[in-house]
Chain A
Amino acid sequence: MNMTGQGIRAMTALSKSWERAVVPLFILAAWEVFSRSGFLPAALLPAPSVVLHTWGDWIFGFDETSQGNTGRWLADALSSATRVAAGYGIAVVSGVALGIAIGWWRWVERTVEPTLQMLRPVPPVSWIPLAIIWFGIANKPAIFLVFLGAFFPILMNTIHGVKTADRNLIRAASMMGATEQQLLRHVVFPAALPSIFAGLRIGIGAAWMLTVTAEMVAVKSGLGYVLWDSYYFLRYDLVLAAMASIGLLGYATDALIKVLMSAALHWQHGSTLQSREG
């Protein structure tokens, strides 16, 4: 019974990561067994080991099991990621700027918001035909769709954050002589930041969803294109590898935003329910 506190903590951390892994490992094992049992034709539900093999070839190009895609994963992932970055970047800048303007100035709200509220219920995917007519088949329609998908959640959350900013903090700052511009920069923006980050996280999910959709329809490269193309060639192992790749990249970008968020909102530490999760 002479375990150090550190040792105990390391043990609980280890057992925690085990807890998390139990369900996925069980599913993978069951899937592997089921696929190899020959209950379904192997091509229709490739076993995890097969998918992993194909995925490996797609990434590293060792034996051309992924045929034309061999060794091209990085290029595919990069072209998808570039579209996400471009569309999402535009959405973040415009969504936050416009959201602050709408939340702060009544006249901006009155003039701009009704139009935006009419556009908001239109699903971004339904813009695909117009996007292709306007921008052709290339990066631009995909970036446009990504922008549409990420823009509204970021905008709405920013507006909400600005409108729920504590009026007393604005009073305190104007008591210290803040101009309107300073109020926006030093009080309203930081006060809205928790809400803005909530919008950023919803937005990044939408961004990946729409890149993949656009690549299936309007673009001839990227993970979404490989996914759809492999479907036509009945390569379900590649379809699954593409799905996993998209999931992984989506997870990674969300994790990145979470890291940025906890750095930017470190002052909340200990004062919110969320911060208790550790």
Chain B
Amino acid sequence: MASIELRNITKIFRDAKRKRDLLAIDNVSLSVEKNEFLCLLGSSGCGKSTLLNMIAGFEKPTEGSVTVGGKAVDGPGADRGMVFQQANLMPWLPVWENVAFHLRLKGWRKADRRDAAQDYIDMVGLRGFENHFPAELSGGMSQRVGIARALLLNPQVILMDEPFAALDAQTKMDMQEELVAIWQKQRCTVVFVTHSVDEALVLGTRVAVMTSRPGRIRELIALDLPRPRDTTGPRFNDHKRHILNLIREEGLQQRQAAVA
């Protein structure tokens, strides 16, 4: 049974102010198997976040249906952990309270929450920053708190919206390795949004290349490359060339459409 099933999803944003409707997602169907690591690849504004938000339950599709684990999605829930494009940490809580926020909601005692948070704080390399407040963290550090917070939910599905976009090359590589290790260990399903071809190829078991607005799935590419991925190997580069060509064609069509 598929873990996530998108059936004929269309999303139209009604723009009341400008009296204009925006077709953000156009008839997307996609199914993600259990334990799959799917990378959604597309240019800025093509609807990646919108698609992810519909799986998370923050947005409702205008048409079509979303099911996760066989159940129709009708709102957000702790079975789907999300790492947001902006970290979205509670600014009034220190790092460890942010990581353990879910346990606070479940009514755990403070000492237990603190213990449970520590593993995840260590996992994302923030030991020593437990008592810092979000205003005292760098962008990349905040993002890592957001990742720890989603992992602590121990969800079946993790949704990640360009979580590493703000990180430097070194930290990004470390975090990517860490993420793959966690995914292999926890046997969860990951949907990972990115606009970096390399990142998609390093992480994914499959890559969904999206078209620019309105968002559609242009091509689904299965990656059977061994891990850890060799970013200089010929097969990696074959995939990369192929995807870059798709993107180039896409850009060309866009410009022609704009001229016509």
Contact = CB atoms under 8 A, between A and B. Distances in A.
Interface of A: 166, 168-169, 171-178, 182, 186-187, 190-191, 193, 265, 267-271
8 interchain residue pairs of minimum CB distance:
A271-B135, A177-B78, A176-B102, A172-B88, A174-B76, A267-B92, A168-B88, A267-B133
Given A175-B80, A190-B92, A270 B135 contact: yes
Contact of A175 (B76, B89, B91, B136): B76
A243 B18 CA distance: 57
Given A175-B76, A175-B78, A270-B136, A169 B84 contact: no
B104 A186 contact: yes
A175 B58 CA distance: 9
B164 interface: no
B70 interface: no
16 contacts: A169-B90, A171-B58, A172-B84, A175-B76, A175-B78, A175-B80, A176-B101, A176-B105, A177-B102, A186-B90, A190-B90, A190-B92, A265-B92, A267-B135, A268-B91, A268-B135
Is the contact region of chain B dominated by helix, strand, or loop, or is it mixed? loop
Contacts, number: 69
B251 interface: no
Interface string B40-62: 00000000000000001010000
B204 interface: no
Contacts of B78: 175-177
A171 B77 contact: no
Is the contact region of chain A dominated by helix, strand, or loop, or is it mixed? helix
B92 A193 contact: yes
Contacts of B92: 190-191, 193, 265, 267
Contacts of B139: none
A168 B86 contact: yes
Contacts of A193: 92
Contacts of A168: 84, 86, 88
B56 A182 contact: no
Contacts of A173: 90, 101, 105
B105 A177 contact: yes
Contacts of B206: none
Interface string B67-106: 0000000011110111010101111111000000110111
A267 B91 contact: yes
A171 B88 contact: yes
Interface in B102-140: 102, 104-106, 133, 135-136
B53 to A, nearest CB: 9
Nearest to A264: B92
A177 B153 CA distance: 10
A275 to B, nearest CB: 9
A125 B150 CA distance: 54
Contacts of A175: 56, 58, 76-78, 80-82, 150
A171 B76 contact: yes
Contacts of A269: 133, 135
Nearest to A194: B92
B149 interface: yes
Nearest to B103: A176
Contacts of A270: 135-136
Q: Identify the interface centre among B89, B92, B135: most chain A CB within 10 Å of its CB.
A: B92
B91 A271 contact: yes
Contacts of A191: 92
